[in-house]
Amino acid sequence: MEGAVPVIAIDGPSGSGKGTVGRFLARRLGWHFLDSGLLYRLVGLAALRRGIPLDDEERLGALARSLEAAFREGPDGELQVLLEGEDVTEALRGEGCAAAASRVAALPPVRQALLERQRAFRRPPGLVADGRDMGTVVFPDAPLKVFLTASREARARRRYNQLKGKDAGVNLAAILEELAERDARDSARSISPLRPAPDAVTVDTTALTVDEAVARILALWRERAGKDGGSFGKGGSS
Ligand code: C5P
């Protein structure tokens, strides 16, 4: 592990703030960022568009293996996601897509197909990876694993605030219900269920701002990197 590219794994349920906190953290450290949920959403979206049943393991596994996806920075600095050359960034954010993602994510061939794609994001000087199984399965040797949580109400409200500007029909009660269903599916599945790695540090963001959550993880990282005598690279010194 010495000399390996460092990874900060951030796992947690939907709406815990992983995406925003992870992105800010990566920016502060000057590291790469992997939003692994986007890969599952891409498979979900492609399956819906092609009319592939969301329980057809064989076809969905093949779809995940052959998926032609690309990521680039848009003019506003935001991440854009391309599926077969088409910008699908907006389509991926929808709750329909999230639900499809959580269905296909329960299938072993899909998870297996996405494993190497996720590991390919580990490049110098470091990677902040967010998802459900970053610390348990994809990067089990990550020197820092964080499990980000928040109350379900706080998570639903965050999702509502994200979506309401874009979707006039958005409804808090429906989001709360959908989150509960997705939490149950993500935690109960037999493969890579959502759960903290034994060596993860839990950070509850219910009462934290994004900046506070980022500061807390940066402090954890500095403590960890300091103890290691700096062999994780110079990330975290900024
Ligand atoms: O993080 P996000 O909400 O975009 O993820 C969408 C769905 O993808 C999750 O509900 C989960 O089922 C699945 N997922 C996963 N493993 C990951 C990331 C996401 O199973 N590492």
- pLDDT per residue as tens, the chain (238 positions): 546 899 999 999 988 999 999 999 999 999 999 999 999 999 999 999 999 999 999 999 999 999 999 988 877 777 889 999 999 999 998 878 989 999 999 999 999 999 999 999 999 999 999 999 999 999 999 999 999 999 999 999 998 988 887 777 889 999 999 899 988 988 888 888 888 999 999 999 999 999 999 999 999 999 998 877 666 654 444 4
Q: What is the pLDDT of residue 138?
A: 97
Consecutive H or E run containing 83? strand 79-83
| Alpha-carbon distance values, 219 to 71, 121, 210, 212, 237 (Å) | 30, 24, 14, 11, 10
Residue 162 belongs to domain spanning? 7-225
Atom nearest to 98 CA in ligand 1: 6
For ligand 1, residues with CB inside 6 Å are 14, 36-37, 40-41, 98, 101-102, 105, 131-133, 182, 186
Q: How far is the CA of 40 from the centre of ligand 1 (A)?
A: 6
* 103 part of a folded domain: yes
- Asked if the structure places residue 141 within a domain, the reply is yes
Q: Quick one: 89 exposed, middle or buried, by C-beta within 10 A (0-12, 13-18, 19+)?
A: middle
Q: Is 237 part of a structural domain of the chain?
A: no
CATH code at 43?
3.40.50.300
Torsions phi, psi for 196 (to 5 deg): -65, 140
* Domain membership flag for residue 160: yes
**Which atom of ligand 1 is closest in space to residue 138's alpha carbon?**
21
The residue count for the chain: 238
Looking at the structure of the chain, the number of domains it has is 1
Q: 68-73 long-range CB contacts below 8 Å, 24 or more apart?
A: 69/39, 69/42, 71/38
Per DSSP bridges, beta strands 7-11 and 32-35 are unpaired
Distance 43 CA to ligand 1 centre (A): 11
Atom of ligand 1 nearest to the CA of 133: 21
CA angle, 99 then 136 then 6, to 5°: 110
Q: What pTM did the predictor assign?
A: 0.88
Alpha-carbon span 221 to 148, nearest angstrom: 15
Ligand 1 mean position, distance from CA 105 (Å): 7
* 236 located within any domain: no
Q: How many CA atoms lie within 13 A of 203 on its CB side?
A: 26
Q: H helices of the chain, where?
A: 18-29, 36-50, 57-66, 89-93, 95-104, 108-119, 152-164, 172-188, 210-227
Q: What residue's CA is closest to ligand 1, atom 21?
A: 131
Residue 31 lies in a domain: yes
- Within a domain: residue 150? yes
In a domain, 105, yes or no: yes
